[in-house]
Structure 1
Amino acid sequence: MIQSLINPQHKCTMLSRFFYITQKNKHLTAVKYRNQTVSYGLLNQWVGKIASYLSLNGVKPGDFVAVELTHSAELIASLLAVQALGAAYVPLDKKAPIERNQLILEDVKPVFIIGDKDNFHQKDYPFCDIYHCIQQMDISQSVSDSSQLTGVAYVIYTSGTTGKPKGVLITHNNLSALFEVTESFYQFNSRDVIMLYHSYAFDFSVWEIWSAIAYGGTLLIPDDETRIEPEKLSQLIKNENVTVLNQTPTAFSINAPKLMDFNRSELALRFIIFGGERLNFQALKSWEKKFGLDSPLLINMYGITETTVHATLHVVKKNDLDKLESIIGKVLPSFNYILRKLQDSPSSNDSGELLLSGRQVTKGYLNSDNTSSGKFIEIENNNLSRVYYCSGDIVKCNDNGELIYQGRIDQQVKVNGYRIETGEIESIMAQLDGIEDVCVIALRSEMLGDYLLCCFSSSIESDVTLIERFKILAKDKLPVYMRPLKYKRLDRIPRTVNGKIDKSTIIHSLELAYVS
């Protein structure tokens, strides 16, 4: 067992908060998974056993420890144990391609891997069998909480422009800053039941985990089958009285219809928090008609791994639902921001690339010269020099001081001399009834030259009817140079493990030539 005498009101790591809560509330439920209920006291015992084993095998502060497990209470204990030693955990998604995980291991060079011996394939690294460790390890060896605000807490790998994943180094200070500026709004507490919906290799999971276990709440882990079955998932949310649900807009569009089968009184939800991709506010109209917007509150949060999960917050209001624009809200108090003007852009003059500075901006990338990458730059303002992260996201500011998300710089394409933001077209095309998903891609062919292709999935059978409606909508809403020339129905729009549209897969499957 690991103890901490730190008062959580003082600046400390989120892990120290967990240990403080554990001492005062050992009996509370920390994690629920299938038929397994793990109290804070038992979870802390597991953390102590794993930390003792790793410590005896030489793991020390500053080391990297890879974790390759399915979602479970044992997974949570493993992540905490690594951090308790002052080391950083590196998640390996078991559903990711083996080649990607191999690239991560080659880059991070972990001193240890925590996994399950029955489903483990990485033979070149020292290995801890989590289940054997928890069952057999004696915790007579004393282990103290060695986490420090300046230390790296975890490393999340994101897609790199070269095709090689990049490891983002997130410190305990980054993580603490996120919760220090959001906890007064969300009021996380011991009555909360928060679902771990996202892969622990996706940084949305970090928010889900700590908003539960740093405040005495319960982290509810659905099994894989339940997670992908909207009917089973919604039933679990109801039966377990889930209070906070985090969703990408795409996931919510799939799960919301089954949740709307219940009456408001049957759900305990306080918040539904959106993140990970652009939110189409008009898609929330049916939810608002059924439940209103007061309980649960719907929150749109924009963020990037490099700025520690979330950077803005916006409470969805009824008048937002008639807007085409995607409001991401006001920047969290831990940040300073700049809008860097764009060159050669058809967007209005008040648009720019969002640059962020502050306590939540991470240390950068592992094994990378961050100053030469162009993503982390030093800017002097009012005789004060700050490091800013260049997000690559285009935003503008409205009259209320809120930021409006307009798309990615790397989603801007040049078609016949016009620079176009495909996300703007997608948000308009998504308004059509019966459209489940949509994406717009710039392509090139010898016969047609440069043109735009609109791919969509739909519950409506007639392609002809849909395409005619698309064309009418485009004519009403878009200038000629932004109107798709071709339309293509797909059974589904492919997405990455993080829920983002996978345009490269579409292009490859249709054997088309992309326009940069």
Structure 2
Amino acid sequence: MINNIIESIQKHQDRNAFYIKGRHYTYKDVGIKITDIKTALLPHLHTINPKHIGVIINEDFESYVSCISVLLCGYGYVPLNPLSPNERNFETIQQAEIKVILTSHKTENDIFYKDKGVNVIYTNDITKGELNLEFPSTNDLDPAYVIFTSGSTGKPKGTPLSRANLNAFLESVWLLNWKIDENDRFLQMSSMTFDMSILTFIIPLCVGACIYTVPEYEIKYMYGLQLMIEHEITFIAVVPSTLSFLKPYFGEISLSSIRYSLVCGEAFPIELAKLWQECAPSSQIINIYGPTEATVFTHSYVYKDGVNEKEYNNIMALGDLVKNIEGIILDDSGKEVSVGDKGELCISGTQLTGGYLLNPQKNAESFFEYNKDGMNKRFYRTGDIVFIDNENTYFYVGRKDTQVKIQGHRVELGDVEKNARDITKTEKTIAIALKNSMGNYYIHLFVQGNNILKAEIIEFLKGRIPYYMIPSKVTFLEIIPLNANGKVDKIALAKIAQSLENTI
């Protein structure tokens, strides 16, 4: 991976590497900026252990190149969302033991980080130097990046991926035989805090292609569509909800330049794939699936003709395992199920993380040893209920726990509840995930009693959790319904939510 990126810079210096906010940047621009950031980092590297460096993701040229420079220096980048509350980001900084942060420009938040003892380097202030692509040798065990997702305890959960994990993933991708090269134009819509960005950030740099990014202040799906049309994008990777937002415009969309449409992050309805194929007739539509813990994706399914598709409940199959992943499906007693029977998907392989940062309890819950084919192997419990057919194709059924995908981001509803309870002051504060009329998930928060205003709850949560975890609706009930087992009756809550929708 490191060599591929360096070779792209050396070979394609005059070709465009990025298109950001209306401006092109060449591979030479990338190389020089990488050199400058490396020079600025060198005095700090001996103080950094573990080898994690924070990068404030301002969705600009410096943000992207900072991540590359950190990688080439032999360290792992930790993307930090500038829109997240300071305390949330500092929790991430503490868990990853970050001593240095790279950011493109000064903000009032910098004082907060500096007061906590973190060095802040401003990449746009670094003096421009000469191109120098000599970097230290790296070890497969060195970190590549750390992605933080929602945690059920109310604190973000850090998943570190090593260079070995990332290289194994890239090998799996190359073996899928996608025909991509320096002539391709990739649409980069995903935040760098979301590991799907690896598909449209690292991969194009490895082949010398150009990356077209969507600014953080734009309406992503509309700006993305504009880029697809005006720049004849050839490769996209989006969550199904992005395509759902575009549905009102499908009759007017004609995107003959797109050759690959990768869809991931949420269940992908077959009907939505049919409609998108009409918009992008030359595109190969590929449904990909996989948890952050196994480096971006573990399964892929190529959409065919819309007629002879593999699907379950009108949701496209997850597909087959990629090269460097092994999967088993276990029942509640921990035994492998037969073909066609449902159970929890557990995965193993060289793409699998070594475990969560500073979280032994969660590691013990999520990872386990299992004897497979006479060998003890380490597996991860995905929490997804699946089954396979006679051709070893995997099908998604649903979640085993309360984890859901909101706008492609993985969210623990317990995280939302924990933070909301800090303001409602009642344990009877319950979050459920529901689908809206466009088929996208949203969070509905129910609170027993009414001693606080809805606006107060939302305003409080804006300072505690990321935007995509903020409930879209808050409803107060005199009594939260319970089932026969004395547990919260979430089916009843869903019916209440539906009845409220019907009265609007």
Deviation at 1:139, TM superposition (A): 5.3
Corresponding position: 1:379 with 2:370:
yes
The aligned residue for residue 260 of structure 2 is: 271
Instruction: Find the aligned partners of 1:254 and 1:242 in 2 and give their Cα distance.
Output: 19
Instruction: Find the aligned partners of 1:348 and 1:382 in 2 and give their Cα distance.
Output: 17
Deviation at 1:322, TM superposition (A): 8.0
Native 8 Å contact 1:21 1:214 kept in 2: yes
The aligned residue for residue 150 of structure 1 is: 141
The aligned residue for residue 222 of structure 1 is: 214
Deviation at 1:181, TM superposition (A): 1.5
Deviation at 1:188, TM superposition (A): 2.3
Deviation at 1:253, TM superposition (A): 0.8
CA 1:291–1:113: 2 relative to 1, 3 Å = closer
Superposition pairs of residues 17-166 of structure 1, within 5 angstroms: 17-59=4-46, 62-119=50-107, 120-121=109-110, 122-123=113-114, 124=116, 125-133=118-126, 136=127, 138=129, 143-166=134-157
> Which stretch of structure 1 is more off in the superposition, 137-146 or 312-321?
137-146
Instruction: Find the aligned partners of 2:442 and 2:23 in 1 and give their Cα distance.
Output: 41
Matched positions, count: 428
Counterpart amino acid of residue 30 in structure 1:
A
Instruction: Find the aligned partners of 1:162 and 1:405 in 2 and give their Cα distance.
Output: 26
SS where residue 58 of structure 2 aligns?
A: coil
Counterpart amino acid of residue 95 in structure 1:
L
Native 8 Å contact 1:249 1:275 kept in 2: yes
SS where residue 385 of structure 2 aligns?
A: strand
Corresponding position: 1:212 with 2:239:
no
Deviation at 1:325, TM superposition (A): 4.2
SS where residue 32 of structure 1 aligns?
A: strand
Counterpart amino acid of residue 120 in structure 2:
F
The aligned residue for residue 169 of structure 1 is: 160
Instruction: Find the aligned partners of 1:276 and 1:85 in 2 and give their Cα distance.
Output: 30
* Selected match of 1:505 from 471, 476, 481: 471
Deviation at 1:284, TM superposition (A): 3.1
* Selected match of 1:180 from 171, 174, 190: 171
Deviation at 1:376, TM superposition (A): 1.1
Native 8 Å contact 1:242 1:268 kept in 2: yes
The aligned residue for residue 422 of structure 2 is: none
CA 1:399–1:58: 2 relative to 1, 3 Å = closer
Instruction: Find the aligned partners of 1:99 and 1:382 in 2 and give their Cα distance.
Output: 46
Structure with the greater relative contact order (CA < 8 A, sep ≥ 6): 1 or 2? 2
Instruction: Find the aligned partners of 1:68 and 1:440 in 2 and give their Cα distance.
Output: 27
Counterpart amino acid of residue 207 in structure 1:
L
Corresponding position: 1:328 with 2:324:
no
Native 8 Å contact 1:325 1:404 kept in 2: no
Native 8 Å contact 2:262 2:286 kept in 1: yes
Native 8 Å contact 2:195 2:292 kept in 1: yes
Instruction: Find the aligned partners of 2:28 and 2:248 in 1 and give their Cα distance.
Output: 38
> Which stretch of structure 1 is more off in the superposition, 156-165 or 97-106?
97-106
> Which stretch of structure 1 is more off in the superposition, 69-78 or 51-60?
51-60
Deviation at 1:358, TM superposition (A): 0.5
> Which stretch of structure 1 is more off in the superposition, 368-377 or 334-343?
368-377
Counterpart amino acid of residue 329 in structure 2:
L
The aligned residue for residue 306 of structure 1 is: 293
RMSD of aligned residue pairs (Cα, Å): 3.3
The aligned residue for residue 196 of structure 1 is: 188
Instruction: Find the aligned partners of 2:56 and 2:279 in 1 and give their Cα distance.
Output: 41
TM-score, reference length from structure 1: 0.75
Instruction: Find the aligned partners of 2:22 and 2:196 in 1 and give their Cα distance.
Output: 25
Unpaired runs of 5+ residues, structure 1, are 1-13, 413-421, 447-493
CA 1:70–1:143: 2 relative to 1, 3 Å = same
TM-score, reference length from structure 2: 0.77
CA 1:28–1:438: 2 relative to 1, 3 Å = closer
The aligned residue for residue 415 of structure 1 is: none
CA 1:100–1:439: 2 relative to 1, 3 Å = closer
Instruction: Find the aligned partners of 2:442 and 2:44 in 1 and give their Cα distance.
Output: 50
CA 1:172–1:387: 2 relative to 1, 3 Å = same
Counterpart amino acid of residue 64 in structure 1:
H
Counterpart amino acid of residue 259 in structure 2:
R
CA 1:269–1:372: 2 relative to 1, 3 Å = closer
Deviation at 1:195, TM superposition (A): 1.5
The aligned residue for residue 501 of structure 2 is: none
Superposition pairs of residues 330-409 of structure 1, within 5 angstroms: 330-342=320-332, 350-369=341-360, 373-409=364-400
Deviation at 1:371, TM superposition (A): 8.2
The aligned residue for residue 406 of structure 2 is: none
Counterpart amino acid of residue 261 in structure 2:
I
Native 8 Å contact 1:156 1:169 kept in 2: yes
Deviation at 1:374, TM superposition (A): 1.7
Counterpart amino acid of residue 332 in structure 2:
L
Deviation at 1:404, TM superposition (A): 0.6
Deviation at 1:212, TM superposition (A): 0.9
Deviation at 1:398, TM superposition (A): 2.1
CA 1:40–1:445: 2 relative to 1, 3 Å = closer
Native 8 Å contact 1:275 1:300 kept in 2: yes
Deviation at 1:206, TM superposition (A): 1.6
